[in-house]
Amino acid sequence: MLLGSCGSLPTAENAMPTTTIGDVVDDVAEADVVFLGEQHGNPVGNFQELEWLRMLHERRSHVVLSMEFFERDVQTTLDAYIAGEIDEEQFTDEARAPKGYQREHRPLIEYCKKHGIKVVAANAPIDMVRKVSHGKLDSVVGMDFAPRETSAPKDAYWDAFVAAMEGHAGVDEATMMQFYRAQCLRDDAMAESIIEAIDSGGERPLVVHVSGNMHVDDHLGTVARVRSRRPDLRCVVMVMETEPSLVKRADDYYTLIVPPEPPKPKKAESHEDDDDDGAHGDGRPALGFMPNYDSEGGVEIEMLREGGPAEEAGLQDGDLIISVDGAEIADTMGYIEILGSLSVGDTVEVVAMRGDEKKTFQVKVGSRNN
């Protein structure tokens, strides 16, 4: 995890020596908001999230956990579960717990339940996000659970978003902006939820917010929207990387890097020695198809790249991908987020609907540069 405060970034000239976990936790515990940006599906990172919540809770008795992975319209259900008023099965059903919840974020929720810690369902509801991604921003303004303010300026976050979408053919700037507005809607909703938790009355809590890396990287996204609303707050950002190290780089700026997840076993059918499918080399991970950007309930394959990983695995134009590597895909943006967590050369399980038939494929992740 890369960790830094909401302030200027360090330079090589002011780099400082290695420090200890205890020093970092003591420092971070003095903040108002800690943003934990995860690599989705990395079990080492999920363990780190729990450890950071535990260590911060030891130093600050009033902690609130805020989560991207639950939407604002399920807050009542989440509260009822933390209070012990409903069982886990009812909670995960009514709160629309994401696929992978049991292995990824359940330990965080159970820790909060055990210790009576408030958990904030911070994200905008998915139906609202989809409307914005389809160009219907005006239809969500003023709706229950929508952020009171949302904006999508063409700033550094826009540049990062466009870079993340790089390699997906068929996206003109107008379509890109619609998806960017949907991304910003999420960030504005999460920022507003965080600030509401801070201003809820009584002793000011330390809010620990867990989300995907993209929402907090480089102090952009949700972080920037918290700062624009409340510049008085001290924020700390932690973004996952994968080499074991802990370095103090400057005042209020650290690098904490977690080890990678254990390597996945190689599958005989993955053809590890076959370089023709584009699964080796530099570049961003790709499965070798152009998505239909209006997809819902998954991501539809609009055009396969000839000889690409998806075609080699047996996928076809028109297939609707509903999960990748065990992570459920709700829409095209969800697919793009999951794609960014994959590694070139890995073999992943892809589940797709072909008409009414569910099919499973083993796809070797390729590179957009190939």
Band (240; pLDDT cuts 50, 70, 90): confident
Inter-residue contact 352 to 319 (CB < 8 Å)? yes
pLDDT exceeds 50 at position 8? no
Indicate the fold that domain 2-257 takes in CATH: Rossmann fold (3.40.50)
Segment 48-70 mean pLDDT: 95
Q: Residue 244 — very low, low, confident or very high, per pLDDT cuts 50/70/90?
A: very low
At 245-257, the pLDDT tens digits run 555 545 555 555 6
Q: Report the pLDDT averaged over residues 262-286.
A: 44
Average pLDDT on 219-228 reads 96
> With bands split at pLDDT 50, 70 and 90, how would you rate the model's confidence at 242?
low
Instruction: Supply the mean pLDDT for the chain.
Output: 83
CATH number among 3.40.50.1010, 3.30.9.10, 3.30.420.40, 2.30.42.10, domain 268-367: 2.30.42.10
Please name which of 11, 5, 17 lies closest in space to residue 245, comparing C-alpha atoms.
17
pLDDT at 317 over 90: no
Question: 32-36, 50-54, 278-282: which range is least confident on average?
Answer: 278-282
pTM of the model: 0.72
Is the pLDDT at 145 greater than 80, yes or no?
Answer: yes
Domain spans, the chain: 2-257, 268-367
DSSP codes joined into one string, 173-225? HHHHHHHHHHHHHHHHHHHHHHHHHHTSSSSPPEEEEEEEGGGTGGG-HHHHH
What is the pLDDT at residue 272?
A: 34
Q: Which of 181, 173, 97 is nearest to 140 (CA)?
A: 181
The residue-averaged pLDDT of 87-101 equals 92
Cα–Cα distance, 243 to 240 (Å, whole number): 10
Phi-psi region of 318 (alpha: psi -120 to 50; beta: other; left: phi over 0): left
Q: Name the nearest CA neighbour of 147 among 229, 32, 65.
A: 229
